[in-house]
C-alpha cells in the first residue's frame, strides 16, 4: 500500500464523465478537486463517438485541474462490466534464481504463464487476480517473494472483455492527452468502498444503477465472481417521462429530479406541477402520483430483469444481501422499491467524503481506494509494479565464429564464456567448466565412429553419420570450431578411397592435439 500519493480517477459514464483528484496520505483520502461534465458520444455505457467523448473528457479534466491546482497527466480509468468473461487459470514455473529464492521476476513469470491461454480474437485480457500461490506443494501463500522453492504455482482469476470497448476507452484517453496508469473494472472498484471486508468475503450483490445501464455483480471471497448487465438505466426513466408527457428530454430530466418518486403509494394525486408540452403554449398540470407510476413501471422492469438473472445463478440469498449505488439510485423511493422485490436485505451506499455525497461518485471514489490499496503482488499482476525488475537473459548467445585468418590449425577455443548474471546484471567471466566433459564425450563418440570404419565397408554412410554427430555436438555447446584449413587441405590433397580410415584417424588426432 502506498503511503502518500495523488490519484486521479476517470469515470466515463453514459450520463456524465467524472474526474476526481484525491490525495492519499497514510490510508486517508482527501479530495482536492472534482470535474463533472455531461457525456457526449456514449450510449448505454459504450463509446459510439470518439471525438465527442474526447471533448467531454478534456472538459472534465480542465475542471478538475482548476479546482485542484495540479496538472493531470495520468488517470485511473474504469472499465464497464459489459460482456465480461470470468474464469479460473493456473500457471507453473521453475524458480530461476540459483539460490532458489523467489523474486519479483519469478512472480511475474508465473503470472505470465497463467495468462497463456486461448483467447478469441475479439476479446482481450483485462486483468488477472491472484488467489493463492503454491511453493513446492505448500498452498495458501499470498506473497511468495523471499521464500525458497524449486517450483512455483499460481491459481488466479482471469477476466477478459470485448476488445472494442477496451480499445475505444484507451483511444479516447490517449487522444485527450492523458496516460493510463491503471484500468479497474467498475464493480471491483465499487466493492472497495461500498462493502465491508466481511461482505466482500462472504458474498454480496452490488447493483450499480447508471444512466445507460444497470449492472448486478457478485463479490465473493474478495473477488468479482459474476456480473450481469441490463441495458436499461436512469436515462430510460427520463425517456419514458418525455414520451408519455409529450415533453422534451431536458424538461423530463428536470421533472424527474424535482418531483419524481419511485413508490406511487407514498405520493399524492392532489399535488400538481406544470409541464411544458410540445405543441401547446400553456403548461399542462400533472399530479405527482401519475409521474410516480411512470417511474415505477420502468424501475420494476429493471429490478425484475436483474432478479431473474440472479435467481438462475442462485445469488438471491447471499449473506451480504444487496447494495444499491449509482446515479439512478439517488432517485427518492428507489431503495423502498428494491426492498419490495429483493427483500429487506437491501441498503443504499452514498460516499461520505465532503462534496462527494452522491451515489454518482461511488465508482470514482472506489477506483482511488482500489488502486491505493493494491499490494505489490497485485500490482505485478496488473503490470504496474514500479520496481525495476532484472532482465533475465532468454538464452545464451552463440559466440561468433572467427574468420579463417584468425583460426589456428588444430586448436580448440577454451576461453572463458561471458554470461549475463541474473542478479547483478553485469557481465562476469565464468570458466567453461563443462568443456572438459563435453570434450571427452565428443572424443569417445568420434573414436567409436572411427572404429566402425574398420569393421564396415560402407564408408560413405559412416562418413555421413560422423559428420552429423560432429555437427550436433558442435552446435550444442556453441564453443567448438572446425579447423577449416585442415579440412580443406585433407579434402583437396588426398582422394577418399579405401584408406579413408587412416585419413579419419589422422584428422581427429590432429584435431584433438
| Tens-digit pLDDT profile for residues 125-171 | 998 999 999 999 999 999 999 999 999 999 999 999 999 999 999 99
Q: What is the pLDDT of residues 300-318, one digit of tens each?
A: 999 999 999 999 999 999 9
Residues of the chain with pLDDT under 50: 1, 386-439, 441-443, 445-446, 449-450, 452-498
CATH number of the domain to which 93 belongs: 3.30.1490.110
User: How far, in Å, CA of 350 to CA of 332, rounded?
Assistant: 13
Residue 115 and residue 230 share a domain: no
Q: 218 and 338: one domain?
A: yes
- The answer on 207 and 337 residing in a single domain is yes
pLDDT at 116: 87
**What values do phi and psi take at 251, rounded to 5?**
-65, -40
Residue 343 shares a structural domain with residue 422: no
Number of domains comprising the chain: 3
Q: Which residues make Cβ contacts (< 8 Å) with residue 69, sequence separation at least 6?
A: 33
Q: Is residue 243 part of a domain?
A: yes
User: Is residue 365 in some structural domain?
Assistant: no
- Give the residue carrying C-alpha cell 480542465: 62
443-455 burial: b if 16+ Cβ within 10 Å, else e = eeebeebbeebee
Domain boundary among 349, 367, 384: 349
In a domain, 323, yes or no: yes
The answer to whether the CB of 166 falls within 8 A of the CB of 80 is no
- What kind and span of H or E run contains 160? strand 151-162
Neighbours of 280 (CB within 10 A): 10
Q: Can you give the pTM of this predicted structure?
A: 0.72
- Do 112 and 215 share a structural domain? no
328 plus 211 within the same structural domain: yes
Domain stops at, among 349, 369, 394:
349
pLDDT value for 418:
32
Are residues 424 and 309 both part of a single domain? Answer: no
> Are 335 and 242 in a shared domain?
yes
Q: Residue 226 and residue 223: Cα distance in Å, rounded? A: 9
Distance CA 270, CA 53 (A): 43
**Do residues 202 and 340 share a domain?**
yes
Give the three-state DSSP class for 67. Answer: helix
Nearest-angstrom CA–CA distance, 170 and 186: 15
Residue at which a domain ends, from 309, 332, 349: 349
Range of the domain at 339: 197-349
CATH for 265: 3.30.420.40
Give a yes or no: residue 355 inside a domain: no
CA 461 to chain centre: 57
Asked whether residue 143 falls in the same domain as residue 223, the answer is: no
Give the C-alpha separation, 4 to 39, whole Å.
32
Q: Is residue 386 a part of any domain in this protein?
A: no
Q: Is residue 141 part of a domain?
A: yes
Specify whether 137 is located in the same domain as 204.
Answer: no
Domain for residue 134, yes or no?
yes
Q: Are 157 and 201 in the same domain? A: no
Q: Is residue 82 within 8 Å of 229, Cβ to Cβ?
A: yes
Inside any domain, residue 488: yes
Contact between residue 206 and residue 216 where contact means Cβ atoms under 8 Å apart? yes
Amino acid at each position: 500500500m502506498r503511503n502518500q500519493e495523488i490519484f486521479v480517477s476517470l469515470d466515463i459514464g453514459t450520463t456524465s464523465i467524472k474526474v476526481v483528484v484525491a490525495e492519499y496520505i497514510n490510508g486517508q483520502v482527501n479530495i482536492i478537486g472534482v470535474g463533472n461534465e455531461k457525456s457526449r458520444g456514449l450510449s448505454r455505457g459504450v463509446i459510439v463517438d470518439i471525438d465527442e467523448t474526447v471533448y467531454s473528457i478534456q472538459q472534465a479534466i480542465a475542471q478538475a485541474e482548476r479546482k485542484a491546482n495540479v496538472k493531470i497527466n495520468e488517470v485511473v480509468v474504469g472499465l464497464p462490466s459489459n460482456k465480461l468473461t470470468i474464469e479460473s487459470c493456473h500457471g507453473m514455473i521453475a524458480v530461476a534464481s540459483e539460490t532458489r529464492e523467489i523474486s519479483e521476476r519469478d512472480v511475474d513469470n508465473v503470472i505470465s504463464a497463467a495468462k497463456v491461454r486461448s483467447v478469441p480474437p475479439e476479446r482481450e485480457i483485462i486483468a488477472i487476480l491472484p488467489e493463492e500461490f503454491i511453493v513446492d506443494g505448500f498452498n495458501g501463500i499470498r506473497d511468495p517473494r523471499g521464500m525458497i522453492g524449486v517450483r512455483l504455482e499460481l491459481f488466479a482469476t482471469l477476466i477478459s472483455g470485448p476488445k472494442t470497448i477496451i480499445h475505444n476507452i484507451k483511444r479516447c484517453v490517449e487522444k485527450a492527452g492523458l496516460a493510463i496508469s491503471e484500468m479497474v473494472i467498475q464493480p471491483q472498484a465499487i466493492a472497495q468502498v461500498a462493502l465491508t471486508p466481511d461482505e466482500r468475503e462472504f458474498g454480496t450483490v452490488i447493483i450499480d444503477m447508471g444512466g445507460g445501464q444497470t449492472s448486478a455483480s457478485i463479490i465473493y471471497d474478495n473477488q468479482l465472481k459474476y456480473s450481469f448487465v441490463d441495458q436499461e438505466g436512469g436515462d430510460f426513466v427520463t425517456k419514458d417521462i418525455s414520451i408519455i408527457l409529450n415533453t422534451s428530454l431536458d424538461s423530463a430530466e428536470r421533472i424527474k429530479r424535482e418531483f419524481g418518486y419511485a413508490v406511487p403509494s407514498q405520493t399524492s394525486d392532489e399535488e400538481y406541477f406544470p409541464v411544458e408540452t410540445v405543441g401547446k403554449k400553456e403548461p399542462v398540470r400533472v399530479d405527482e402520483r401519475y409521474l410516480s407510476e411512470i417511474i415505477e413501471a420502468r424501475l420494476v422492469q429493471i429490478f425484475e430483469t436483474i432478479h431473474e438473472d440472479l435467481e438462475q445463478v442462485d445469488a438471491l440469498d447471499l449473506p451480504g444481501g444487496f447494495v444499491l449505488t449509482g446515479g439512478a439510485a439517488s432517485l427518492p423511493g428507489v431503495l423502498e422499491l428494491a426492498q419490495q422485490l429483493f427483500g429487506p436485505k437491501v441498503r443504499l451506499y452514498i460516499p461520505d467524503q465532503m462534496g462527494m455525497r452522491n451515489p454518482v461518485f461511488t465508482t470514482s471514489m472506489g477506483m482511488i481506494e482500489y488502486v491505493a490499496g493494491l499490494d505489490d503482488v497485485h500490482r505485478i499482476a496488473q503490470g504496474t509494479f514500479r520496481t525495476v525488475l532484472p532482465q533475465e537473459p532468454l538464452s545464451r548467445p552463440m559466440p561468433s565464429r572467427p574468420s579463417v585468418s584468425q583460426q589456428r590449425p588444430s586448436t580448440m577455443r577454451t576461453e572463458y564464456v561471458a554470461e549475463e548474471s541474473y542478479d547483478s546484471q553485469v557481465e562476469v567471466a565464468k570458466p567453461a567448466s563443462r568443456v572438459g566433459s563435453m570434450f571427452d564425450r565428443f572424443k569417445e563418440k568420434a573414436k567409436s565412429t572411427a572404429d566402425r570404419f574398420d569393421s564396415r565397408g560402407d564408408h560413405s554412410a559412416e562418413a555421413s553419420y560422423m559428420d552429423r554427430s560432429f555437427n550436433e555436438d558442435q552446435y550444442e555447446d556453441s564453443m567448438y570450431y572446425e579447423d577449416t584449413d585442415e579440412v580443406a587441405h585433407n579434402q583437396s590433397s588426398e582422394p577418399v578411397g579405401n584408406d579413408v580410415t587412416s585419413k579419419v584417424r589422422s584428422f581427429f588426432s590432429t584435431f584433438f592435439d
